[in-house]
Structure 1
Amino acid sequence: MNKQFTLIFIITGILSLIVTNSCQPKKQVEEEVDSEWVDSLQHVYEYGVCIDSMDVNRYEIRQGDNPAIIFSRLGFSALKADSITRASAHVLDPTKLKAGMHFCTLTTLDSMATIRYIAFAKSLTDYAVIDLTGDTIRAYEYTKDITLKRKYIEGTITSSLWNVIRDGGASPLLALKIADVYAWQIDFFDVKEGDSFQVIYHEAFIDDTIALEITSIDAAIFTHQGKAFTAIPFTQDSVFEYFDPEGNSLRKAFLKAPLDFFRITSRFSNARFHPILKRYRAHHGVDYAAPVGTPVKTIGAGTVIAKGYMNGGGHTVKIKHNSMYTTSYMHLSRYAKGLAVGSHVQQGEVIGYVGSTGLSTGPHLDFRVYKNGEAINPLAMDAPPSLPVKPELRDSFMLIKDRYLAELDSLHQQYTDTILEIKHIADSIQIHKPSNGKK
């Protein structure tokens, strides 16, 4: 890892601590301390079991394994293995055990190494635990605690948002969350070098160390082609949305594009040379190149008015959104399960998958928009925003907006100061480095 990335990781770690410490209340010292709480800090637990005096052995399920085979391999007699299998059947489904899944045993530390517990991982958080400590075998489900950490990251685009976030030490999946927030304002396959972002977000962890997922974005500023797009979270009428500083919703009637990741290969035109027909003709849509099987989403809520194979368009879905707008999705490889003419679909719902059916030279989506029955350029369409913050809620919104903007500004300043300090240290080291290269 080069020096630049090392410095970025250090900065990210420092700022993660800054955000966490600045946003969580300090625990006050009590005159009387809960003795059980103090005692619990002196012990180590796993799967809800105190393992201070136990040895934890971890294994991987092999091809063809079932509970009885696994228990026999652990040294149990056929009769005991059968008893354990029967006692744990309500929490451990043999049909769901797959090769590569993990399980562990908790054994005594003496020379006998007696197995006291067996824990099977059903997911990253869920386990089936078998208790062998008593006269009766007991089995139960255990779910690991998930902790949320509040973090901050910022960066400037040099290649892609995904790469910049990854190189900054954060989960690149954060890029998808950011794209969701700004789906109505920014085409993230059109971000330019020099675009920048600031994001405060929450990430879920298991065991306080294993990253699980990005759960939410608290606030963000994305500067695209010189224009700053600010996202402030606010809930009204029990609906959570992001708003700009003026209180206008970032959510519009239509998504910016029907695919998450794509490349535009052909734009709206009245005279495009058709690669198969070998002649010029109108192409009243936008072609998005993407791998076969890429999910295709409806850009807005509506009703399916057509579904089927339509000559040159191949497998096609048409959706009527309202009395004015209709959209068409062509060259699909297949349709979403359960989709039928008359189905009502929600904005962002998957309706099919990219293919190359009909008159197509390769996998892509031919996407078209019709306004009052006339084809219009999807890339030039400006859909109206949803409802802004209500007048009676504006004071509450302004308080939240001011708090988040102040926090983003403060974290940006700390980030900048940290970079300057690290640069100063790096320059000092360089200055004192012997010119002949000797230590």
Structure 2
Amino acid sequence: MLKKLIGIGLLLTLLIVAISTLGKSEKTYPDEEPVNLQTLNEIPEQPPLDTYGMNVKLYDVTEDQIRRNESLSLILNRHGVGPETIHNIQQEARGKVNLNRMIPGQRYRIYKNDDGTATTFVWHRSATDYTTFSWGDDLRIENGSIPERVSVASVSGTIRSSLANAIQAKGVSQRLVVELANIYAWTVDFYSLRQGDNFKAIYENRHVEDTYIGIGRIKAAEFEHRGNVRRAYYFEYGDQAGYFDADGNSMRRTMMRVPFEYNPRISSHFSHNRLHPILNQRRPHYGTDYAAPTGTPILAAGDGVVTEAQYRGGNGNIVQIRHNSVYRTAYLHMSRFAPGIRPGVTVQQGQVIGYVGQTGLATGPHLCYRLYKNNTPINSVTYDFPPSDGLSPEYMDQFLVRVERLDAMLDELGSSEADRLAMY
């Protein structure tokens, strides 16, 4: 009995020792050095850098705007930069940035050392793009950009007098009017919009840091015009993008209905028997006259080749474009042609080809816009232009998923909604 108790005791003792050993075991690795907590605490704090990567603790920073008739050399000279350094900067800038594009109102920054010596100049070429000129230890010129932040908002309303007034009443930038006009340029005559027509738009607002810089892309839109509802959806596919209707047909047409960025007032319609305002004779008027200020840009109604660009009697300065074997257009009474516009030149739809004037027989500044189909004049205001190519079948499934999502967002917008609704 005593031997049995002794044996049990020995077993318990060995078990306790084993458990104790396991609890204190440590795994070691060769060549492992212990962590020095003091070294970790001594890691230097990162210097505070501004948007342009400059350590603001090391410089006295002056921010200002370019004034009228100011140039880079005048600005740098005013801040104590010598003529030799300015000359070297101007030489280095060649091929990197166009200094002639400095315009009043653009922002800039000057960085100076503690002794007041200027070493860096940052020029904001736009809201997002800037150029940094540094001439401290060595001369460097670098272009950069500030990332944009995009938020999505929406607006809807009913037209009482004009689309521009309706959107202004919502507190939204007038740029939205231009963007909508671009989307619907081939399908909606904005001059014929009437009281009671409705509109909706889901669009992007662009921000740089905490500053609003304008309207971005329109993601989807709707126009209810004379009882007809037209929706447009932005879609990116492959390396291309554009606006399409719900069936994947392009919102673009082979020809623009109005060759302007916006829809000016029609001062004289297409007619087979119009009383000429100067000659006081009844004769056909195979065009549509758009009254607009002298110098207003005129756009090519479609892709094509310029066949005429000259002064021609009562037509004044005229440009004609052959778009294909079916369509050609003519633009009369221009004040001048856009640079490079001459016979044989290929132009793209929406490209500026000239500017409104009143050359030839004209009582005031306007454009007489003429459209020909198979060499027969037709009314560009009422003609139903064929659409451009739509989406190929391989993208339709992806497109329809996007349409479903955007339709739900558009459906949530009431035409009588008083305020913009931030979507996300």
TM range (shorter): 0.7 to 0.9
Mapping of 1:48-87 within 5 angstroms?
A: 48-51=53-56, 55-61=60-66, 70-71=75-76, 73-74=78-79, 82-83=84-85, 86=88
Distance 2:228 2:116 in 1: 65
* Deviation of 1:350 (Å): 1.7
Amino acid at match of 1:251: R
Amino acid at match of 2:127: L
Instruction: Report the counterpart of residue 103 of structure 1 in structure 2.
Output: 108
Distance 2:359 2:367 in 1: 10
Q: Whose Rg is larger?
A: 2
Q: Work out which of the residue numbers 393, 408, 414 in structure 2 matches 1:406.
A: 408
Gaps spanning 5+ residues in structure 2: where? 1-44
Amino acid at match of 2:382: A
Q: Work out which of the residue numbers 124, 128, 138 in structure 1 matches 2:127.
A: 124
Specify the SS of the correspondent of 2:254: coil
Residues 401 and 89 (structure 1 numbering): CA distance in 2 closer, same or farther, change over 3 Å?
same
* Deviation of 1:170 (Å): 2.6
Instruction: Report the counterpart of residue 380 of structure 1 in structure 2.
Output: 382
Residues 236 and 98 (structure 1 numbering): CA distance in 2 closer, same or farther, change over 3 Å?
closer
Distance 1:256 1:338 in 2: 24
Q: Deviations over 1:298-329 (max 9, x none)?
A: 21122222222222111111122222222111
The two structures have a TM-score, normalised by structure 2, of: 0.76
Distance 2:308 2:100 in 1: 40
Distance 1:418 1:277 in 2: 52
Distance 1:321 1:150 in 2: 38
- Contact 2:299/2:350 (CA < 8 Å) preserved in 1? yes
Greater displacement, 172-181 / 59-68: 59-68
Q: Work out which of the residue numbers 147, 151, 156 in structure 1 matches 2:153.
A: 151
Quote the RMSD (CA, aligned, Å). Answer: 3.3
Residues 339 and 85 (structure 1 numbering): CA distance in 2 closer, same or farther, change over 3 Å?
closer
- Identical pairs, percent: 37
Residues 413 and 357 (structure 1 numbering): CA distance in 2 closer, same or farther, change over 3 Å?
closer
- Contact 1:287/1:364 (CA < 8 Å) preserved in 2? yes
Q: Deviations over 1:194-241 (max 9, x none)?
A: 222221222332223141x43311111122223221012234564322
1:252 corresponds to 2:257: no
Amino acid at match of 1:124: A
Distance 1:47 1:418 in 2: 37
Distance 1:64 1:249 in 2: 46
Instruction: Report the counterpart of residue 309 of structure 2 in structure 1.
Output: 307
Q: Deviations over 1:327-373 (max 9, x none)?
A: 11111111121112122222122221111111111111111122222
Distance 1:361 1:338 in 2: 28
Residues 417 and 71 (structure 1 numbering): CA distance in 2 closer, same or farther, change over 3 Å?
closer
- Contact 2:356/2:366 (CA < 8 Å) preserved in 1? yes
Higher relative contact order structure (alpha carbons within 8 Å, sequence separation ≥ 6) = 2
Mapping of 1:2-401 within 5 angstroms?
A: 43=48, 45-51=50-56, 55-61=60-66, 70-71=75-76, 73-74=78-79, 82-83=84-85, 86=88, 90-91=92-93, 102-106=107-111, 117-131=120-134, 140-211=142-213, 213-236=214-237, 238-259=239-260, 260-401=262-403
Distance 1:266 1:416 in 2: 36
Distance 2:302 2:212 in 1: 36
Distance 2:224 2:245 in 1: 13
- Contact 1:261/1:290 (CA < 8 Å) preserved in 2? no
Gaps spanning 5+ residues in structure 1: where? 1-38, 421-439
The two structures have a TM-score, normalised by structure 1, of: 0.74
How many matched pairs? 373
- Contact 1:248/1:385 (CA < 8 Å) preserved in 2? yes
- Contact 2:156/2:417 (CA < 8 Å) preserved in 1? no
Specify the SS of the correspondent of 2:266: strand
